[in-house]
Amino acid sequence: MSDFQPKIVAFVCTWCTYAGADLAGTSRIKYEPNVKIIRFPCTGRIDYMFLIKAFANGADGVIVSGCHPNDCHYVSGNFHARRRWIVFRELVDFLGMDVNRLCFSWVSAAEGAQWAKIVNSFTEEIRQLGPYKAYMELVKKDKNESVF
């Protein structure tokens, strides 16, 4: 299992975490290359279906990250997002999804090192958990059952 390289998708807001990740790059901070960053205008734009679809397309872990509370470029997008995440996380946990594979964080544009730290620790956690087999079986079944 030690050579397992998890696929991690990060949904980030362009104003804080994306800029933070950019800072990590320009500061030449090395971090795990497993993460694939997808840039959004705001965390408020990140629909829960995106997270589900990431898992359906083979992600082993998903990061959602945006501006700290009160720092949203659009004033309240992250507050709305937080409301949604709280309910969504409880719901998928109740449905039996592994919520340890979901990582929510606040990373500002100045926190390049913090971004690297979160990616590194989360990648390590997912590496320990291994591939998301339960969901992959669901996807495989879907391909067999689908009539289209």
Partner 1 sequence: MDSIRKRARELLEKNTVKVVIGYGVGSDNTVRAIFVRRPEGVEELIFDETCVQNLAVYLLKNEIKQIGKLCIIANISALRTILQLASEHQIHEEELLCLSVTPNGELLEFTGFKDIENYISSCNRDLPDKESEMIKKLEKMSVDERWQFWMNHLSRCIKCYACRSACPMCYCTRCQVEYNQPQWITVEATLMGNFEWQITRTMHLAGRCVNCGECARACPEDIPINLLNYKTVLTVKEKYNISAGTNANIDSVMSSFESDDKENFIR
By the criterion CB under 8 A, which residues form the site for partner 1? 48-49, 52-53, 56, 69-70, 76, 79-80, 82-99, 103-106, 118, 134, 138-139, 141-142, 145-148
Q: Please report how close the Cβ of residue 148 comes to partner 1 at its closest, in angstroms.
A: 7
Which of 7, 84 has the CB closer to partner 1?
Answer: 84
Closer Cβ to partner 1, 15 or 106, answer by number: 106
**Helical H segments across the chain, by residue range:** 17-26, 48-56, 77-94, 112-129, 133-145
Q: Give the nearest distance from C-beta 55 to partner 1 in angstroms.
A: 10
Residue 2 vs 88, nearer CB to partner 1: 88
- Least separation in angstroms between CB 56 and partner 1: 6
Return contacts of 108-112, CB within 8 angstroms, 24+ apart: 108/16, 108/17, 108/20, 108/67, 108/68, 108/71, 109/15, 109/16, 109/19, 109/20, 109/23, 110/20, 110/23, 111/20, 111/23, 112/20, 112/21, 112/22, 112/23, 112/24, 112/25, 112/26, 112/27, 112/29
Closest to partner 1 by CB, 29 or 136? 136
For residue 26, the minimal CB distance to partner 1 (Å) is 23
Q: Considering the complex, what minimum distance in angstroms separates the CB of residue 47 from partner 1?
A: 9
For partner 1, the closer CB: 101 or 127? 101
